[in-house]
Amino acid sequence: MTTIPAFIDARRSIRSFTNEPVALDALDALVVAACSAPAPHHSRPWRFVVVHTDDAKQRLAAGMGACWRADLGADGVDPSRIDELVSRSHEKIIEAPALVLGCLTWDGLDRYPDADRQRAEWGMALLSLGAAVENLMLAAAASDLASCWVAAPIFCPEAARDALGLAEHWLPHALVMVGYPDPDYVGRPRPPVPLEDLRATR
């Protein structure tokens, strides 16, 4: 029976936090861990924004919320349901003690004349942002901090960027809520890994 290494098992998505603020030094340490991730051809295509003020949290939540509201409206979702979904997401974001917003840039990435390879290059950057975010969350767990990835900015990178007044080439793609874990939060048990379904051997 294969066991998951303890440092990997310790990271779970925790969506509820105590009111205790997270020190900026502790958040910086998470960003340093993120920036130790593997990245294509020695690039560092990621940028991280530590969002810790109430004003910035509100602006980010409102900017992404407006974008989601428009998408849901275009999908024909009932307006009261839209209000419910967007306000729940807004609350979740502003209630997190801190947020770390992972952005991508083209810095250090190769440029190709054709769209297929250009897309693959951006795909590599995205993969490396995923690795960086996992590093960040593993480091959080190692510091007794709770974290949870929030998908929202990948659907509206420009809205998230503009809400925070970031440089044009910083494109937000991953948001992580960070805080000290609410002791009453009960997450789902981690499901077993059905190895026969998820891996092949040749």
Ligand X SMILES: Cc1cc2nc3c(=O)[nH]c(=O)nc-3n(C[C@H](O)[C@H](O)[C@H](O)COP(=O)(O)O)c2cc1C
Q: How far apart are CA 112 and CA 123, in angstroms?
A: 13
Number of residues that bind ligand X (CB under 6 A): 9
**Does 187 engage in binding with ligand X (CB under 6 A)?**
yes
List the beta bridge partners of residue 146. 179
As measured in angstroms, the least distance from the Cβ of 89 to ligand X is 8
**Does 106 engage in binding with ligand X (CB under 6 A)?**
no
11-30: contacts with ligand X (CB under 6 A)? 12-13, 15
**What is the Cα 12 distance to its own chain's centre?**
14
Q: What is the DSSP letter of 140?
A: H
The amino acid that residue 89 corresponds to is S
Using the contact rule CB under 6 A, the part of the chain among 21-29, 30-38, 99-107, 147-155 near ligand X is 147-155
- Kindly tell me which of 14 and 49 has the beta carbon lying closer to ligand X: 14
Q: Which ranges of the chain would DSSP assign to H, the alpha helix?
A: 6-9, 24-34, 54-74, 79-95, 115-142, 157-163, 195-198
Using the contact rule CB under 6 A, the part of the chain among 10-18, 24-32, 75-83, 107-115 near ligand X is 10-18
Q: How far apart are CA 53 and CA 27, in angstroms?
A: 13
* Residues lying near ligand X in the complex (CB under 6 A): 12-13, 15, 148-151, 187, 190
